[in-house]
Amino acid sequence: MLTFSPNIQSLIDSSGREAALKRAVEIKQRVNAIETELNPQKVETKVEAKFAKVLKESENENVKFRLTNQSRFDALTQLPEISQLAALKGSSNVSQNASKAQLKEMISKIAQKHGLDEKLVHAVVKQESGFNPKATSHCGAMGLMQLMPSTAKSLGVKDAYNPLQNVDGGVRYLKSMLDKYNGNVVLALAAYNAGPGAVDKYQDVPPYKETQNYVKNILSNYLSAN
């Protein structure tokens, strides 16, 4: 149940209520736009469910407090998912021609959104593409985190050369590997490079020189950044 500070406990008149509802709808539209940017195939999210709950509670005749326009906005931005998405709003305009500093800022925000160590993600991007959104490997891997076409498709990434979509998809995939290997960074990185099938087969970093150097280089970059 949401709680609010004393300054938002006053009643509002019908015109104020109408303005508050209008503001709430605008916020929902902004959230939906950001969510769609990150995942065009999304269905109803936790954000929408919580948003609906806030609206229902605020419209219920039995609620203890009716919210003012500003307080409704404050209540909504208290929801962590909305706050995280709002933080990414500026990143949606990062283009292929963005500076390295802009790309790093975007990467940090996405890593934080998914609960990953941003320095680790920076190290992966450095190894994969050297922070080049237009990078394409000899085997067809694309963008900052070098997503293969099949991987990009499975992650709902429509444009793998779009920095925001690419990193969000790559971070989600890296997180899935970390979850699979119980937080073992070495195995997760090996799986990111060689695939989880190879890691499962050898129950360790596969005996591939490329993969072994890949893991070694990322860990070196990661440790030197701390």
156 and 39 in contact (C-beta within 8 Å)?
Answer: yes
- Residue 155 burial (CB count, 10 A): 21
Query: How far apart (Å, rounded) are the C-alpha atoms in residues 173 and 138?
Result: 21
> What are the tokens at 135?
């990078």
Known active-site residue 128: yes
Question: Alpha helix locations (H) across the chain?
Answer: 14-38, 46-59, 69-77, 80-88, 100-113, 118-129, 149-154, 163-180, 185-194, 196-202, 209-224
- Active-site option among 26, 105, 128, 210: 128
Enzyme catalytic residues: 128
